[in-house]
Amino acid sequence: MDIDYYREMLNTFMFDELEQLFTEMPFFEMQDILYEIAYDQATEDMNLLVYTFYQTLLYKKESASLHLSMSNLMGILLNHVHNAESVGFFHGLRAAELEPENIDILEFLLYYNHIPKKLLADAVAVAFARKIVLQRPDSLAARMTLAKDRSN
Residue type at position 3: I
Average pLDDT of the chain is 96
Q: Please give the Cα distance from 69 to 38 (Å, whole number).
A: 12
pLDDT surpassing 80 at residue 151: no
- pLDDT band at residue 148 using 50, 70 and 90 as cut-offs: confident
Q: How many helices (H) and strands (E) does the chain have?
A: 10, 2
* Residue whose C-alpha is closest to residue 78's, from 40, 118, 123, 130: 40
- Give tens-digit pLDDT for 62-77: 999 999 999 999 999 9
Global pTM?
Answer: 0.94
- Give tens-digit pLDDT for 54-111: 999 999 999 999 999 999 999 999 999 999 999 999 999 999 999 999 999 999 999 9
Q: Average pLDDT of 122-137? A: 96
Q: How big is the CA angle at 58 (ends 53 and 60), to the nearest 5 degrees?
A: 100
